[in-house]
Structure 1
Amino acid sequence: MKKRVLVACGAGIATSTVVCERVENLLKDNAVNAEVIQCKIAEVSSRQEDADLIVSTTILPTTYKIPALIATSYITGINMEALDQKILDHLK
């Protein structure tokens, strides 16, 4: 079954593009069948029904029905492997 990951940032452009590529490569390298969808943080609540995980580059304004991870480490370059593992754990 294909998993869906929402990658969200404030505007849905710059930081989420970097995170999107990182997550796509991570899933491909680990043979996880998943679709990565880039969106604005404001769109997450309306799209969460179809998704399995949220990866956000910004503080989440609310709580969601699905797990959410903050992807700051992909922006800063600190503890990226730990975040990789958390993402994989949620999708396996």
Structure 2
Amino acid sequence: MSDNLKTSIIEFPLDFPIKVMGAQHPEFAATVLEVVQQHAPATAAADINTRPSSKGNYISATVVIRAQSQEQLDNIYRALSSHPMVKVVL
């Protein structure tokens, strides 16, 4: 068993929400979904919800994935954080 599996406080697999925020853009949700699907291919459009900011300048997307490992989550966070459309990943 790897050290990650021994020390993780999260028990996998589980449904895990990832919140992503960025500037308002018509392709934001589709782009977030595409990035997530590279690491969690079973994630579908129905698994993502978006909400505009009060002034409409920003958008947040919450995507729920079926996480299989800490490594998978780390890869998703890195991929989203490095995307130019994304400002924050929680």
With the length of structure 2 as denominator, give the TM-score of the two structures.
0.32
With the length of structure 1 as denominator, give the TM-score of the two structures.
0.31
* Structure with more relative contact order (C-alpha pairs < 8 Å, separation 6 or more): 2
Larger of the two Rg values belongs to structure: 2
Normalized per residue, the structure richer in helix is 1
Normalized per residue, the structure richer in strand is 2
